[in-house]
Amino acid sequence: MSKGNSIQAARKFDFFDFLYKYGTLITIVILIAFFGMMSESFLQVSNIINILRSISIVTIIAVGITISLSVDGFDLSVGSIASLSNALVISMFVWYGQNIVLGILVAIVISLLVGILNSFAIVKLKIPDMLMTLAMMFIVQGIALTYTRGATVSANMVMPDGSFATGTISPLFAKLGQVPWIIIIMVVVVAVVHIFLTYTKHGRYMYVIGGNPEAAKLSGIPVNKYRVAAYLLSALFAAIGGIILASRVMTAEVNAGAPYLMDAVAAAFIGLSVLGSGKPNAIGTFVGAILIGVLQNGLVMMSVPYYAMDIVKGTVLALALALTYYKNKS
């Protein structure tokens, strides 16, 4: 190789480009190695399964955010939708004695109504998506609190009239939140959304809209319809996340879905840079969720206080965003 070619090859290597593409994966490997050395039980199969179980709900909700990001949108109401879905499905069983199909159906339909309201306000009324979904987050949170009267909904709970709830939760429903089903559902959701966004014309249209909505309109793509669909799908996956959460804990806690918002947003944005994709994608979101899950699990094993974990997660998200936007501007 000539001297000129050597210089050209050296110039071609961009450290930030390498970090942008592989930084998340390298970080996961480093964290696994570090926590593995710090704790003998970290690398045990049971703990790996525990990490996958712990990120399942986050991943499902984050995939919905990923779809909204694909059309250059953003949905902050997913945590509250998950809370409402959680409360609805448990109450259908405990308060009204409904079967598993009707309970899940009610939770999904009501959650989709929230998605319809979001999309109407954003697409028709032209309210900025972040502001609208922020407002909807508080509205839905208030609705969930009002519906449950601020109480935990559970089997045999005391009702306002002093009687006990007589409904029961189906053992079949309980299986959804258990291993391996909770992990299988997560993997299926990620695979389906990955195929949808990557290999179907509808997914490609969403990416075109997210990249340049004006060009998408000029090319004949019904931009508003796809934006509506994106917010409906975001609400759908938030509802599924809330249902799986209900199956996992078998109760509906006050604002149970709210803590998942930050982790889901972090996973979706971290996923933008995985393997240099530069766009929202389900596989990247899954990798981002794994990074967060490994961090949380490892920090717990090292007895780091729970209130300090948000500092670490926030720092990781800030670094991922800094790298992503630096790369996009370069």
- Paired tokens of 35: 């926590």
Confidence of residue 309 (pLDDT cuts 50, 70, 90): confident
User: How far apart, in whole angstroms, are the C-alpha atoms of residue 44 and residue 36?
Assistant: 9
Element (H, E) at 141: helix 129-148
User: How far apart, in whole angstroms, are the C-alpha atoms of residue 157 and residue 246?
Assistant: 16
Find out whether 46 and 206 touch, Cβ atoms under 8 Å. Answer: no
Average pLDDT over residues 176-187: 97
Lowest mean pLDDT among 17-21, 176-180, 203-207, 268-272: 17-21
Using alpha carbons, select from 30, 25, 124, 133 the residue that is nearest to residue 80. 133
User: How far apart, in whole angstroms, are the C-alpha atoms of residue 288 and residue 266?
Assistant: 7
Confirm or reject CATH 3.40.50 for domain 33-325, answering yes or no.
Answer: no
164: three-class secondary structure by DSSP: strand
252: three-class secondary structure by DSSP: strand
> pTM of the entire structure?
0.93
User: How far apart, in whole angstroms, are the C-alpha atoms of residue 265 and residue 58?
Assistant: 9
Lowest mean pLDDT among 111-120, 192-201, 246-255, 276-285: 276-285
